[in-house]
Chains A and B, each alone.
Chain A
Amino acid sequence: MPNFITSYLDPKVTVTPGEAGNQFWALVYVFIIFVGVALTVMWLLNWVERKALAHFQVRLGPMRVGPHGLLQPFADALKLILKEDIIPAQADQFVFWVAPMIGLLASFTVYTVIPFGPSQAVSDMNIGILFMLGVSSLGVLGIVVAGWASNSHYPLIGALRSSAQMVSYEVAMGLAVVSAILMTSMNASGTGTLSMIGIVRAQQQQGIWFIFKFFPLGLIAFVIFAIAMVAETNRTPFDLAEAESELTAGYHTEYSGLRWSLFMLAEYAAMIAVSSIAVTLWLGGWMHPFPNLLNGPVWEFIFSLFPGLTFLGVAAIAFIGTARMPAHSFFKIQRIGLAVFAAVLGFIALLLFVIAVAGRSADASLAARFREGIDYVYWFLLKVAVFIYLFIWYRATWPRYRFDQLMKVGWKVLLPISLGVLIVTAIVGVIFS
């Protein structure tokens, strides 16, 4: 194999491909992450959201396409692709065309610095968190421009609302992030860091997740961020940009078919991205729970079984679903399909167990490195998944804010609290260092 492929596989290399200067592996990582995110958003997230919402409202949700509606997202995607692509006659053609691209580009670019593990990221930028906040704030441009280019009243109002909302909540969000970054400098050298991997490393060194640091300061900053990130992604209860009761569909009223689905893809990708910021800054990123107490080879082995156990659990649920299918001949194909799905999940679980056992030794072999990588990515994604579920839960539970209430919460509640937390964190940090 060529050198540029094998040199990064050397177990001694413990940095991201971007830092190692290996363009080939960086591109491979970009490909894996982008395809993974697109598939997760399109299939898994779409299905989970519809099912969860349905169950919150005591409905069944999609049940017809595939067993328990598992193939419904694919049917939807096919429908969206085949739909007619309408551009309003009075619309600004070029801007109308480019607007969804801006949103998509902004929400996918940030994935290059998200640290799924200490070396499981495309690159570790020195300004990682700054880059993430900056590029994700570009996403609002797509919404604003889409609303304007549609040349219609509802989209314009939606776009104006969303830009005002995003600019307002970015302030509180930024201040909450700064108070977490201040905490990274509580070490012997007194030097903080903006790098995403560096922030998780700082939590590792200080032996505490930043959500529990200087209790309750870290917790308050985290809660402010958790509220602001819902507003940033235009989700309920802050989805005034697409308030269907007043604005039809807000900024994407005039969009249809594939273009509309690009907006949805961008919104869901942005949800995962902001959840990853929260996980990185406050919840210890890729670390498993209690990394300082429960370490050593035995605990490492136990924690490395978790990915396999998760897949085994999901496979078991799928098998139970197969067994509970009605015994009518109408359900024959669905039953076979679900059984095959369960078998595939079980096979993945088996594979993960094999890797966990093969890589259990702490030496620098490729299997051990692979096992470690799976562990890091698993714990990171598990924490992100909790946030995604919260997003869905919010949507099912809370009514929408009125616009003046939204502005009041942003400027008169979140901003003063986050400023206060920032100042108190700085004072406490100086006292304790």
Chain B
Amino acid sequence: MNSGLNSAINAGMAPVATPWFFYALAGVAVVSGVLVITRRNAVHSALALIVTLLAVSGLYLMLYAPFVAGVQIIVYAGGIMVLFLFVIMLVNIERSSKERTFNRMWPVGLAAACALLALFVSVIVKGRALLNDPMTGKALWPDPVKKLAESSNTQQIANMLYGEAGRMGEYTFAFEIASLLLLVAILGAVIMTKKKI
């Protein structure tokens, strides 16, 4: 243990992406994800959803994407879920908990879930074949833990979104369009709720 720790200190950073963390977080995410759709009580479902979101943000951390993990906690777990709970608490839970959780739509849902699973599996199988493609020299996925870019991840995202050294970033246009869309959505919500502005 000590030699590994020492080399980690010398490298300035210790590897945290251990399989144990991954399986624990993934397990928590899947189990609480199942709880979200099986609980009858809407507040219990919402709490399970929060646990799922937190576990996913842990997975982002393991992918050395701390900024995405932080935003996941602030926006989803902290912001959106509080509003969810806010609304759910005002709904009459007595009545909704007596309704059937799985209605006649479930075969459609199952088919959609199976299609998504098939898509994932096919991508993984195709990706295996494309790994180190001799024609392009590119892999479908880059080498998993090539470099520990954690210390500059946020700066790299900023450079991509806003550009660096006076040049426009790779995604500046798309980012601005998305923010405009959000602004329109906010204005729409205000206009729909207010009779007189």
| Contact present for A141 and B82 (CB under 8 Å) | yes
A141 to B69, CA, bound (A): 19
By a CB distance below 8 angstroms, the chain A residues around B151 are 126
Asked if B71 CB lies within 8 Å of chain A CBs, one says yes
| Contact present for B82 and A3 (CB under 8 Å) | no
The chain B residue sitting closest to A144, CB to CB, is B85
Asked if A63 CB lies within 8 Å of chain B CBs, one says no
| Contact present for A127 and B5 (CB under 8 Å) | no
Number of interface residues of B (CB under 8 A): 37
A127 to B77, CA, bound (A): 17
Partner of A134, one of B12, B44, B78, B90: B78
A135 to B74, CA, bound (A): 7
The chain A residue sitting closest to B76, CB to CB, is A134
| Contact present for B12 and A131 (CB under 8 Å) | no
| Contact present for B50 and A141 (CB under 8 Å) | yes
| A20-B9, A95-B43, A95-B47 known; A125 vs B66 contact (CB < 8 Å) | yes
Asked if A191 CB lies within 8 Å of chain B CBs, one says yes
By a CB distance below 8 angstroms, the chain A residues around B8 are 21
Asked if B163 CB lies within 8 Å of chain A CBs, one says no
| Contact present for B74 and A4 (CB under 8 Å) | no
| Contact present for A7 and B5 (CB under 8 Å) | yes
| Contact present for B79 and A130 (CB under 8 Å) | no
A237 to B14, CA, bound (A): 45
A166 to B66, CA, bound (A): 24
| A13-B9, A22-B5 known; A133 vs B74 contact (CB < 8 Å) | yes
Binding site secondary structure of chain A: helix
By a CB distance below 8 angstroms, the chain A residues around B89 are 144, 147-148, 156, 159-160
Asked if A138 CB lies within 8 Å of chain B CBs, one says yes
| Contact present for A144 and B82 (CB under 8 Å) | yes
| Contact present for A127 and B82 (CB under 8 Å) | no
Kindly supply a per-residue 1/0 record for chain B positions 32-44, scoring 1 wherever the CB is within 8 Å of any chain A CB and 0 otherwise.
Answer: 0000000001011
Asked if A350 CB lies within 8 Å of chain B CBs, one says no
A199 to B75, CA, bound (A): 23
Partner of A127, one of B47, B86, B154: B154
In the complex, chain B residues 1-26 whose Cβ is within 8 Å of any chain A Cβ: 1-2, 5-6, 8-9, 12-14
By a CB distance below 8 angstroms, the chain B residues around A317 are none
Asked if B131 CB lies within 8 Å of chain A CBs, one says no
Closest chain-B Cβ to A227's Cβ sits at a distance in Å of 20
In the complex, chain A residues 382-420 whose Cβ is within 8 Å of any chain B Cβ: none
By a CB distance below 8 angstroms, the chain B residues around A7 are 5-6, 9
By a CB distance below 8 angstroms, the chain A residues around B69 are 127
Asked if A256 CB lies within 8 Å of chain B CBs, one says no
| Contact present for B82 and A167 (CB under 8 Å) | yes
Kindly supply a per-residue 1/0 record for chain A positions 92-118, scoring 1 wherever the CB is within 8 Å of any chain B CB and 0 otherwise.
Answer: 101100100000000000000000000
Closest chain-B Cβ to A180's Cβ sits at a distance in Å of 16
Closest chain-A Cβ to B92's Cβ sits at a distance in Å of 13
By a CB distance below 8 angstroms, the chain B residues around A164 are 86
A131 to B67, CA, bound (A): 9
Asked if A204 CB lies within 8 Å of chain B CBs, one says no
The chain A residue sitting closest to B44, CB to CB, is A95
A131 to B154, CA, bound (A): 13
| Contact present for B70 and A131 (CB under 8 Å) | yes
The chain B residue sitting closest to A2, CB to CB, is B2
By a CB distance below 8 angstroms, the chain B residues around A92 are 41, 43
Asked if B73 CB lies within 8 Å of chain A CBs, one says yes
3 nearest interchain CB pairs? A21-B14, A137-B78, A134-B73
- Using A7-B6, A19-B13, A21-B13 as known contacts, list a sample of 13 further A-B pairs with CB atoms less than 8 Å apart, ordered by residue number in A: A7-B5, A7-B9, A127-B67, A127-B70, A130-B70, A133-B74, A134-B77, A145-B47, A145-B85, A147-B89, A160-B86, A160-B90, A164-B86
Jot down 28 A-B pairs with beta carbons below 8 A, ordered by A: A3-B2, A3-B6, A4-B1, A13-B9, A19-B12, A20-B14, A95-B43, A98-B47, A126-B67, A126-B151, A126-B153, A127-B66, A130-B71, A131-B70, A131-B73, A134-B78, A137-B78, A138-B78, A141-B78, A141-B81, A144-B85, A144-B89, A145-B43, A147-B89, A149-B43, A159-B89, A160-B86, A160-B89
Q: Which A residues form the contact surface with B (CB < 8 A)?
A: 2-4, 7, 13, 15, 19-23, 92, 94-95, 98, 125-127, 130-131, 133-135, 137-138, 140-141, 144-145, 147-149, 156, 159-160, 163-164, 166-167, 170, 191, 194
Q: Which B residues form the contact surface with A (CB < 8 A)?
A: 1-2, 5-6, 8-9, 12-14, 41, 43-44, 47, 50, 66-67, 69-71, 73-74, 77-79, 81-83, 85-86, 89-90, 150-155
